[in-house]
Each structure stands twice: as structure tokens, then as C-alpha cells.
Amino acid sequence: MKPELLAEAPPIIKEFLGYMGTIRGKSPKTVEEYYFDLRTFFRYIKQKRNLVPPNTKFEEIRISDVDLALIKTITLTNVYEYMNFLATERNNLASTRSRKVSSLRTFFKYLTNKTGKLDTNPVQELETPKAKKSLPKYLTLEQCLELLSKVDGSTKERDYCILVLFLNCGMRLSELVSLNLNDVNHNKKTIRIVGKGNKERIVYLNEACIDAINRYITVRPKDALIDKNALFISKQRKRISPKTVQYLVKKYLSEIELEDYSVHKLRHTAATLMYQHGHVDIRVLKDILGHENLGTTEIYTHLSNEQMTNASEANPLSHVKQREPLKIQIKNKKGPV
């Protein structure tokens, strides 16, 4: 977390952020998100209770004076009013409000269960806003092949290798840029990936990945490197940055007319292709992607189910219904049967 942001935080929140970073092993980016969420909440509380001068802009409200005395006055009603404020005043989507609920839950659980500074947790019964679950966008197999065919230029071996790892290993952007040379085990054909919360996982490399890595290694810069350990090197001879990777991925996607797609869509693509074409077990897919919960991975099974439904609906017999049997009148002595 950036020092200037930490300097603005009150001691009680600094302690919480330190716990999340060192004890819980959350990434600096995740710790920052916790701080931003808590800052927004306490800015709202101070504004709502007239604890700041009138006409103070919301973004200029400082929370450095927030202490345990103020926190003890927070009620569940306050939090629900805050949720309404986020929806109506800040136009936050349900997914964003859901994340902010999670941050508040974690913070108050820490104060109640870990430090004992609160006797009761005011947000224990707080409900999470229901977010609409949308199926992830992904590239088809044909689009993947077309994308790879577009790679060219002075860094084509590097760029091709990056795309191949995204499409075959399903790694996150942060995971790819943090790869080191020694993370690749050529003998065992594996790669070590450090994911969220510094959790490591080993992913096996297929033939395409091994070939792409070997071709890149032969042309990878070796002299005057700022970061000699980094696998992917930029033109400035340092570890490639997330922005550079995002730029080159966007560039190649635009060449196949998929400008709206992003790096993360390549991760979705890898997962979808493995599940649908490789028939990978959902639990194995969970480990490959580095998901903490199986429920996160299950979205790819839902994706497959939707496709199977669409395929069934496309059948020309899909709308043919059984006709009512004809009533045949047979005359006999007793009348019609």
C-alpha cells in the first residue's frame, strides 16, 4: 500500500490494514481496496452526522480522526442507510456495493473477534446486495487461432509467448508480469504461479507453452537488465509492466475486431476451452485458475449449460409438440365409444 495513503489512515484502521497485509497475506492492491472502502464509509458517517464543515466536498473529508469511540456508535441502520447512499447518490452497482459490504464485515469482524475492541458486531446481520451474475465473455477456438496469427514485430516471440500462456494457463495479469525465469521448470514442464494472497500453485505446461517459452528465451535480452530475474522483459530492459501487457493484448485483439475484450477475457477463454473442449474436472480447473472457492469456478459449468440449452433450442424439432389424439366415433348398439 502506498505510504501517502497509509499516512491518511487513523491508527485503528492502520492496525487493521497491517493485519490484512501481514497476517492474512492480502496483496497491497487488496489492502488498498479495503482502505478505500472504509474511507468512503467513514466519510459518509462524518458527513451524515455533521462532523465536517458545511459544504465540504465528499472527497475532501479526512478520516484521520476516526477512533474507537466513533466506531462504537455505528449501527446496522447506519450501514443500510450507507448502502442506499451508494446506490442512489454514487450510482454504485450491486457488485460494487457487495464488495463494500465485504470490507465492512471484515473490518468489524476483526475488531470484534480478533482484537476484542468491540463487544458486539453491528454488521453481523448485514445482507449482501444481490448482484446479477453475468456469464464471462470469451474467445472461440477460431478467434484464438486468429489472434495468435496476428503476432508480429520486433517483440513477436515475447508477445506470442504471453498470449499463449494466457490462453493455455489461464493466469491473471498480475501473475504473468510477476513470473521469474526460475519459475519455469523445463525438466518437469511446469510453471510456478504466485496468485492472490501470495498463494503459490504449480501448473503443467503443454507443448504449445513449452515451445513458445523456448523460442522466447532464445531472443530474450540478457545484457544491462534492470531485473535479471524477470521472465518477460520490456524494451526498457526491465520487468514488463501490467500496462504494457494490457496494451499489446488490446492491440492484437483489435486486429481481430475484438476491441471491447481485455486481458482478463483471455483468462476466461482458457478456462472455457479447458472445460468445454478438454472436459477438465471442475475441481482441477479450480486449482489451475487459483480460485479459492469452487463456487467461483462453477460459472464455467453454467456457461456450458447455457450453450447446451441453445444447442437444444436450435434443433428443428424443438418446438414440435404432441398433438391431441383424434376422437373417432364408432357407432354400435350402445352408442358412440
Residues designated catalytic: 172, 196, 264, 267, 291, 300
Contact between 289 and 297 under an 8 Å Cβ cutoff? The reply is yes
**Residue 161: alpha-carbon gap to chain centroid:** 22
Contact 169, 209 (CB under 8 A): yes
Q: What is the secondary structure of 277-295 as a DSSP string?
A: TS---HHHHHHHHT-SSHH
Instruction: Report the alpha-carbon distance of residue 132 to residue 79 in Å, rounded.
Output: 22
Rounded CA-CA distance 118/165 in Å is 47
Say how far apart CA 174 and CA 243 lie, in whole Å: 10
Residue type, 224: A
Question: Could you tell me the three cell numbers for 219?
Answer: 531472443
Torsion, CA 210, CA 168, CA 229, CA 227, rounded to 10: 130
Q: How far is CA 190 from CA 147, 182, 197, 258, 290, in A?
A: 24, 11, 21, 31, 15
